[in-house]
């Protein structure tokens, strides 16, 4: 079974982004990081994918928006993150 694609939109200096990446790193999850600090096409892409998003990080697992750092931590606390990661 292949690993799901994990994507995370971040900004420089964002503590929540660091926390989310640290959780993914601890779990050994590889992810694609998109820095939207300066706006640009990746920020526009993030807003298109999650129109109500006003903060970072925005995290996607196999194209499904899971939210930000707090939501990722809650998925981990409840054991649902491993299920989403196919573990």
Q: What is the pLDDT along the chain (87 residues), one digit of tens a residue?
A: 678 999 999 999 999 999 999 999 999 999 999 999 999 999 999 999 999 988 999 999 999 999 999 999 999 999 999 999 998
- CATH, range 6-84: 3.40.30.10
- What is the pLDDT, as a whole number, of residue 64? 96
On whether the CB atoms of residues 62 and 85 are closer than 8 A, the answer is no
Strand, helix or coil at 21?
helix
- What is the pLDDT, as a whole number, of residue 1? 60
């Amino acid at each position: 079974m292949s690993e799901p694609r994990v994507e995370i939109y971040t900004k420089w200096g964002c503590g929540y982004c660091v926390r989310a990446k640290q959780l993914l790193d601890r779990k050994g999850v590889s992810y694609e990081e998109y820095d939207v600090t300066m706006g640009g096409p990746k920020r526009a892409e993030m807003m298109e994918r999650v129109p109500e998003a006003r903060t970072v990080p925005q995290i996607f697992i196999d194209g499904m928006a899971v939210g930000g750092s707090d939501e990722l931590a809650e998925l981990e606390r409840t054991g649902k993150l491993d299920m989403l990661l196919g573990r």
